[in-house]
Structure 1
Amino acid sequence: MSIMLRTRQLIRRDLARLSNRRCASSNGDDETRYIEEWQATCIRPNSFYELHASSRTYFYSVDLQGRLFLEETSPKNIATSLKSDKFLDFFFSQLRPNKTGKFEEYPFFSPCGKESNYIRPACLPIVFHDLTPSNSLVYAGTLLQKFHPSNLRTSSLSGRIFHRLFPSSPSKKSRMQKSGESYGLIKSSIAGKIAENIFFKDDGGMYYVDDEGEWEVGLLPDDQESVSWGLPSSSI
């Protein structure tokens, strides 16, 4: 089976899941339960967190909706997530790949003064959770990324949809952008709206089409896939 054919099937599967969620809650409940079970396997003994908290070292997780949690938090839901826009904007503006040589099972790092914050996301740490009327994707609390179809990518492993991170000007690169080409996951409810404009052609390619033109939707680079740390994608 070709990569593009499999990706096409995965995207159609995800779109069908989104449609089914509108009709019945059981599918969404099953997926939520699976994600919660995976998150629970990542939690370490309390002694681990207490030991490292004494040196102001903390561990976080980011779910597929972009919600940030202390890793030891259970259960993980909207009530227990960290919600301060000011904190989220600073935390994610400091985000970068973990090159500290410590806690390598946490692929991302966000320093905050003397604090060291390590992050293991379910997919990628940046998740676009809204799309504004002015066509900007929202992540963290209020941070914006201008949407453009040429920056869309899909995963050949999960069928999820992503958007490339790029600065508004060369002098305004984020820590993630300075580390190389990077992407953010588009939350499923927003991805469903975007996917209404994605079509498959006879050549097997995927294209985003609107009144302004047509853009091919390429594959997410292999180094952006979360297979080594994230939520197993083949099971949901």
Structure 2
Amino acid sequence: MLFLDNSRAKNFTSAYKDIEFLNFFYKQLRLNKTGRFEDLFPYVSLCGLERNFLRCDDRPIVFTEIQDNGTTLRIGQSSRTYPFEPTSLSMLKNGRLYHKAPFGGYGLVMSKTADKLFPLFTFDEYGYPVDFCWRGKKHILTNEIRRNVGQ
């Protein structure tokens, strides 16, 4: 969910919900190289002269659900989607599930969605998923994200 930085209570009621705004926000999202607040806000979404600075707990892109009969991932609470590629799923040492993303290399799969996918994985002796059974087909995971992050 996306909130104003100075919101005291960060919950559903204080989150941005306007779909058009969220679609535009995610479309314009990039690394903050504006020379302003770069240490505090590593990402920015540009809107004309306005700058919407962003910081996050993990990744700037969060996939909230699988849509379109299992072919796309929804980005945040927007209506923007990204193609779901089962082989690009990867779990890091923190136990969170990730998928490649249109920005930042990879995005976080929301816990609620990851929990639904968890039973579909086969794990190696170290506890990392190695394959994923999706729609009756076994997909060997590339674990490219884990390799690129160095875990």
SS at match of 1:68: coil
Question: CA 1:125–1:220 in 2, change beyond 3 Å: closer, same or farther?
Answer: farther
What's the C-alpha RMSD, in Å, of the aligned pairs? 2.2
- AA aligned to 1:116 is R
- AA aligned to 1:183 is Y
Q: How many residues align?
A: 144
Match of 1:93 among 27, 30, 39: 27
The equivalent residue for 1:197 is 120
Does the 8 Å contact 2:96/2:108 carry over to 1? Answer: yes
1:151 is aligned to 2:88? yes
Residue by residue, what CA displacement relative to the aligned partner does 1:23-51 show, whole Å, maximum 9, x if unpaired?
Answer: xxxxxxxxxxxxxxxxxxxxxxxxxxxxx
Which structure has more helix as a fraction of its residues?
1
Q: Compute the displacement of 1:151 (Å).
A: 1.1
Q: How far, CA to CA, are the matches of 1:108 and 1:190 in structure 2? A: 25
Q: Compute the displacement of 1:133 (Å).
A: 4.5
Match of 2:149 among 214, 222, 228: 222
Q: How far, CA to CA, are the matches of 2:20 and 2:64 in structure 1? A: 16
Does the 8 Å contact 2:129/2:141 carry over to 1? Answer: yes
Does the 8 Å contact 1:129/1:187 carry over to 2? Answer: yes
Q: How far, CA to CA, are the matches of 1:204 and 1:188 in structure 2? A: 18
- Counterparts of 1:19-34 in structure 2, within 5 Å, are none
Q: Compute the displacement of 1:134 (Å).
A: 1.8
1:188 is aligned to 2:88? no
Which structure has more strand as a fraction of its residues?
2
Does the 8 Å contact 1:110/1:118 carry over to 2? Answer: yes
Question: CA 1:204–1:91 in 2, change beyond 3 Å: closer, same or farther?
Answer: closer
Residue by residue, what CA displacement relative to the aligned partner does 1:197-225 show, whole Å, maximum 9, x if unpaired?
Answer: 111134865223322223125216338x9
Structure with more relative contact order (C-alpha pairs < 8 Å, separation 6 or more): 1
Percent same amino acid at aligned positions?
31
Q: How far, CA to CA, are the matches of 2:58 and 2:5 in structure 1? A: 15
Larger CA Rg, structure 1 vs 2 = 1
Q: Can you give the 5+ residue segments of structure 2 that lack an aligned partner in the other structure?
A: none
Q: How far, CA to CA, are the matches of 1:109 and 1:164 in structure 2? A: 20
- Counterparts of 1:21-170 in structure 2, within 5 Å, are 67-105=1-39, 106-135=41-70, 136-140=72-76, 141-156=78-93, 158-166=94-102
Q: What TM-score comes out, normalization by structure 1 length?
A: 0.56
Q: Can you give the 5+ residue segments of structure 1 that lack an aligned partner in the other structure?
A: 1-66, 167-175, 226-236
Q: How far, CA to CA, are the matches of 1:121 and 1:109 in structure 2? A: 11
Does the 8 Å contact 2:90/2:141 carry over to 1? Answer: no
Q: How far, CA to CA, are the matches of 2:126 and 2:91 in structure 1? A: 17
Question: CA 1:188–1:205 in 2, change beyond 3 Å: closer, same or farther?
Answer: closer
SS at match of 2:38: coil
